């Protein structure tokens, strides 16, 4: 699958659906899921697909996890990939589906999706990156939330490097999702930002200003005070505060606080707080844990330093939801990577609004580029406008934390 086409992501690679009760219900939507029915030299309703300069061999039938299976072997690969692809299945926008499949591989592989919108537009998404199974059968499980406008879905297991990948026993089942208890009076979303990258000031701030919305900016103070390239300078941090946005602490050096002793934790959280309060003339109430890492000692020291809440960082959309019972020093957030689609982020806002949850984004670089934690300026602007037009309440971290019980 051509990577430049990866502009739409399907979300949650996890075994549990965070924050909601979700039970598989209904039939398996994938036809001939165990490859038991043949059509000539291929499994019925499946197609061998390759892209790029790959030397791929497709084999069927081969010994499976149970009965027959299908296999693809790459003898060489410069660019491209190969997979067995089932017929598109009909799905409901916004619904959650549980995907399961068995695989045996001698190389790293990837589970991806093809999403087909009502108007026929095709987009692609990442679900999971998997190591070699070591030649034994293993099962992959993932929850997939369907973006708005998407009505057809294909889930496929992708061979990208030299070796063999055998797949069997696919399952795609709609889940009944019950809204979590302890919800708010209305759904909320927060746009927060980590590290003090200059692109947040140059690109994200004007977009928020134009929309009339406020965000929370978590500032790592060493690069700001030291004048590091690609980071904000002190005047820019001060300007953000003067425009009414929230400033939060993100320590001095962005060290994993769980690796430090009490004295060094205190230095990181107290010194950054003091610097930011002196710079902006405003009280700093919130802290974002570097790398999202914390333990009880870290939480205790953050509280002792005078913060009244703290935010973590997660790598799946499921990690971004909060209910009223969320621990005020363990506020959940989701850090988008450059593979996260605009559609998936919009869907998170839709769920938060519908279920009266609080969803927190933690962006890093808001700019065009291929860095892992880059979000394009266009996608960020579209997301902010979507939130505003949807009517969901946009809050700072402090405003949201004040509603936690």
Residue appearing with tokens 């036809």: 31
Please tell me the distance from the alpha carbon of residue 153 to that of residue 144, in angstroms, as a whole number. Answer: 10
Alpha helix positions (H), 165-295: 198-199, 205-211, 221-226, 234-242, 262-280
Q: Apex CA 202: angle with CA 276 and CA 340, to 5°?
A: 100
Query: Cα dist. 382→211, 285, 346, 352 in Å?
Result: 11, 29, 9, 18
Handedness of CA 381, 329, 277, 250 (dihedral sign): negative
Count, residues in the chain: 405
Task: Give dist(CA 214, CA 200) in Å, integer.
Answer: 13
pLDDT value of residue 128: 82
**8-state DSSP, 317:** G
Quick one: average pLDDT of 215-233? 98
Per-residue pLDDT tens for 126-165?
888 899 999 999 999 988 888 888 999 999 999 989 999 9
- DSSP code at position 179: P
Confidence at 7, pLDDT banded by 50, 70, 90: very low
- Alpha carbon distance 233, 198 (integer Å): 8
DSSP H helical ranges for 30-131 = none
Task: Quote the CA–CA distance of 386 and 349 in Å, as a whole number.
Answer: 9
pLDDT above 50 for 298:
yes
The pLDDT tens digits for 353-379 are 988 999 999 999 999 998 889 999 999
Please state which of the ranges 196-210, 245-259, 312-326 shows the lowest mean pLDDT. 312-326
Give the span between the Cα atoms of 36 and 169, in whole angstroms. 10
Q: Which domains does the chain have, with CATH numbers?
A: 3-177 (2.60.120.260), 188-401 (3.20.20.370)
State pLDDT tens for residues 32-89: 999 999 999 999 999 999 988 889 999 999 999 999 999 999 997 668 899 999 999 9
Query: Given pLDDT bands bounded at 50, 70 and 90, which one contains residue 18?
Result: very low
Long-range residue pairs from 235-244, CB within 8 A, at least 24 positions apart, any chain: 236/198, 236/201, 237/196, 237/276, 237/279, 237/280, 238/279, 238/280, 239/201, 240/201, 240/205, 241/280, 241/281, 241/282, 242/280, 243/205, 243/209, 244/214
Calculate the alpha carbon distances from 307 to 157, 248, 329 in Å.
Answer: 45, 9, 9
178-187, 322-331, 358-367: range with lowest mean pLDDT: 178-187
pLDDT of residue 23: 54
Question: Is this prediction's pTM over 0.85?
Answer: no
Q: How far apart are CA 181 and CA 209, in angstroms?
A: 34
Task: Output the CA angle 377-383-389, nearest 5 degrees.
Answer: 135
């Amino acid at each position: 699958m051509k990577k430049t086409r990866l502009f739409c992501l399907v979300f949650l690679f996890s075994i549990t659906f965070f924050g909601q009760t979700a039970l598989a219900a209904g039939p398996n939507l994938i036809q001939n899921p165990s490859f038991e029915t043949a059509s000539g030299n291929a499994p019925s309703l499946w197609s061998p697909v390759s892209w790029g300069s790959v030397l791929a061999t497709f084999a069927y039938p081969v010994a499976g996890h149970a009965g027959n299976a299908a296999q693809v072997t790459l003898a060489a690969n410069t660019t491209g990939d190969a997979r067995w692809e089932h017929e598109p299945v009909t799905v409901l926008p916004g619904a959650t589906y549980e995907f399961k499949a068995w695989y045996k591989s001698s190389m790293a592989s990837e589970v991806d999706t093809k999403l087909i919108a009502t108007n026929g537009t095709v987009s692609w998404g990442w679900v999971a990156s998997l190591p070699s199974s070591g030649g034994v059968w293993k099962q992959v499980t993932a929850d997939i939330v369907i973006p708005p406008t998407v009505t057809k879905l294909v889930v496929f297991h992708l061979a990208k490097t030299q070796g063999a990948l055998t797949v069997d026993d696919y399952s795609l089942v709609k889940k009944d999702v019950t809204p979590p208890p302890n919800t708010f009076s209305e759904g909320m979303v927060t746009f927060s930002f980590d590290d003090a990258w200059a692109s947040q000031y140059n690109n994200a701030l004007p977009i928020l200003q134009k929309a009339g919305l406020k965000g929370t900016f978590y500032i790592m103070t060493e690069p700001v005070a030291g004048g590091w390239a690609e980071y904000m300078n002190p005047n820019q941090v001060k300007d953000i505060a003067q425009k009414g946005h929230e400033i939060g602490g993100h320590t001095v050096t962005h060290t994993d606080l769980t690796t430090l002793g009490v004295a060094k934790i205190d230095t990181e959280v107290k010194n950054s707080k003091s610097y930011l309060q002196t710079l902006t003339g405003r009280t700093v109430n919130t802290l974002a844990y570097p790398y999202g890492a914390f333990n009880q000692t870290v939480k205790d020291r953050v509280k002792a330093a005078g913060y009244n809440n703290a935010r973590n960082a997660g790598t799946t959309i499921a990690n971004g939801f909060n209910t009223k019972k969320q621990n005020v020093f363990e506020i959940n957030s989701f850090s988008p990577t450059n593979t996260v689609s605009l559609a998936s982020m919009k869907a998170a806002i839709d769920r938060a609004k519908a279920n009266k949850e609080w969803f927190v984004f933690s962006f890093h670089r808001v700019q065009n580029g291929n860095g892992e934690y880059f979000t394009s300026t266009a996608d960020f602007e579209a997301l902010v406008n979507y939130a505003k037009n949807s009517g969901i309440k946009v809050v700072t971290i402090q405003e949201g934390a004040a509603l936690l019980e």
